[in-house]
Amino acid sequence: MEPIESKRITKNLLFIKDNITQLEKIMDKLIEDDCLGMDERADILSAKRTDKQCHKLLDILLKRGGNSYSSFIEALEVSGNHHVATRIQHKDLQKDDTSFLHVKEDTFTVNGKVEFEEAEVIQLYEEKEMYLERVKELEVSCTLLQNENYLKEHKIEKLNQDVRHLKQNVQLKYDEIDNVDETCVEHLRKLDQVEAQCKTLEEENAHLQIVQRNLQETISDKEVTMKNLNQEREFYKKQMNILQADLRQLQNESAEKDARIQTLNEQIRELKIDLQNTRQAMDKMATDSRVAMEQLKTDHSNRFNQLDNKLDCVLKMLKTSKMSDGNVLKSADVNKNTRKQSIGSHKTENRPCTNASRNKPGINRNQKI
């Protein structure tokens, strides 16, 4: 590096440290031009403060010859540090012209930096509007999910009513079965009575046969009596057959009703499983919605804090430049206050919506079947 070039850099050392930006991009450009090594880049970035990093970089360039000066000026142009490159190239080393050029170049540097910072602020506001639109879309989606959740809760309540009706019908069927059992017991009791009567008649018939053998003289009278007894016996046998047929029919009906009851029980179990799966799916959807909303609020809060920090930095830089025109400061302060009021009103609008979704009537997640 030529002595005149080194002199220009050292004369503007303080200005370079205070105004240089995109230091990593500058070092990448110098590495491409073989003016800086990768190990030197890592050593420069190891310094915690930006001014220290800049000092190390300039120290390396001043000690290095070749085209390091022109590569450094080109790297400043590529990285957006036009004001720094202009200051270094047009700095007059004579003492009598130093004060005039200093005032002129400071004005040029401040104006360029203000324009750059204003463009960055406009971009940040555009990003803020985009995120606010995204928040509104998510709020609409949350409202739709809450309405769907309410409809599904209503459907579950209706299914619970159907289950209660089915239980009532099953209980009625059980009552009918109990009545059928009582009827069967009554028929069995009558059948026992008929069998007892049949046994009695058989005993009487045997007794009559003995009497018939012993009393031949009264056989004609006894034949009439025997005929009557035989007719009664046939009648009771027919009655017994009819009762047995009725008993078999009742047993078949009881088996059919048992099968129907088993089918109803299986349907009830399936309904319970469907209700449980639906409830779990709804709980998962509600939990995912709440987690997404909380994450989005956290991201927005972090983004707004970053905006505040950047705006504070811009205000500090504008104040330290000692500009006579105070309209820019007032406009920035007004924009900052307007943004804070917008953030506060946005948080206030989100809070009632969240409470309303939590306290929505007609929702009971712990309701059992």
Statement to judge: residues 65 and 143 lie in one domain: no
CA dihedral of 61, 63, 66, 67, whole degrees rounded to 10: 20
pLDDT at 175 over 50: yes
Task: Flag whether pLDDT at 338 surpasses 70.
Answer: no
Indicate if 45 and 155 belong to the same structural domain.
no
Q: CATH number of the domain at 245, please.
A: 1.10.287
Residues 149 and 256 in one domain: yes
What token pair was written down for 282?
């709804």
| Pair (127, 182) in one structural domain | yes
Identify the burial level of 288 via C-beta atoms within 10 angstroms of its C-beta, where 0-12 means exposed, 13-18 middle and 19 or more buried: exposed
Q: Is the pLDDT of residue 358 over 70?
A: no
Q: Which of 148, 138, 147, 141 has its CA nearest to residue 278?
A: 148
Return d(Cα 264, Cα 245) in angstroms, integer: 29
Are residues 147 and 288 both part of a single domain? yes
- We report the CATH number of the domain holding residue 35 as 1.10.533.10
Q: Output the pLDDT for position 301.
A: 84
CA 354 to chain centre: 15
Q: Tell me, what amino acid is at 114? A: V
Q: What is the CA radius of gyration of the chain?
A: 52
Q: Report the alpha-carbon distance of residue 19 to residue 22 in Å, rounded.
A: 10
pTM for this structure?
A: 0.28
| Residues 198/236, Cβ–Cβ less than 8 Å | yes
At 242, give phi and psi (nearest 5°). -65, -40
Domain shared by 230 and 274, yes or no: yes
Q: Do 154 and 235 have their domain in common?
A: yes
pLDDT of residue 23: 85
User: Within a domain: residue 368?
Assistant: no
Q: Does residue 109 lie within any of the structural domains?
A: no
106, part of any domain: no
Average pLDDT over residues 321-331: 54
Which of 35, 68, 91 delimits the end of a domain?
A: 91
Q: Is residue 112 part of a domain?
A: no
Distance, CA of 297 to chain centre: 14
Q: Looking at residue 107, what is its pLDDT?
A: 52
Tell me what pLDDT residue 310 has: 85
Q: Left if phi > 0, otherwise alpha if psi is -120 to 50, otherwise beta: which for 64?
A: beta
Neighbours of 296 (CB within 10 A): 16
364 lies in some domain? no
Residues 304 and 352 in one domain: yes
Q: Compute the C-alpha angle 63/66/72, nearest 5°.
A: 75
Query: Predicted confidence band at 357 (pLDDT cuts at 50, 70, 90)?
Result: very low
* pLDDT average, residue stretch 302-307: 85
- Structural domain that includes position 202: 122-358
Q: Clarify whether residues 129 and 225 are in a common domain.
A: yes
304 and 160, same structural domain?
A: yes
Residue 363's Cα: distance from chain center in Å? 18
Does any domain span residue 367?
no
The closest of 92, 71, 73 to 82, measured between CA atoms, is: 73
261 vs 355, residue with greater confidence: 261
Percentage of the chain modeled with pLDDT above 90 = 1
Q: pLDDT digit string (tens) for 57-66?
A: 888 888 877 7
User: In total, how many domains does the chain have?
Assistant: 2
pLDDT of residue 366: 40
Per-residue model confidence as pLDDT tens digits over 81-103: 888 888 888 754 444 344 444 44
Residue that finishes a domain, picked among 91, 110, 138: 91
Q: Does residue 87 sit in the same domain as residue 133?
A: no
The letter for the amino acid at 108 is F
Mean confidence (pLDDT) of the chain: 76
Query: Closest Cα to residue 249, out of 297, 296, 180?
Result: 180
Number of H helices, E strands in the chain: 10, 0
Q: pLDDT value at position 100?
A: 43
Indicate if the pLDDT at residue 323 is higher than 60: no
Q: Establish how many alpha carbons lie within 13 A of residue 288's alpha carbon, considering only the half-sphere containing its beta carbon.
A: 9
Is residue 108 domain-resident?
A: no
- Residue 110 resides in a domain: no
pLDDT digits (tens, 9 = 90+) for 191-245: 888 888 888 888 887 887 787 677 777 767 667 777 888 888 889 888 888 988 8
Which residues fall within 8 angstroms of residue 271, CB to CB, at 6 or more apart? 159, 162, 163
Q: Domain check: are 81 and 127 in the same one?
A: no
Domain end, chosen from 34, 69, 91, is at 91
pLDDT for the residue numbered 118: 66
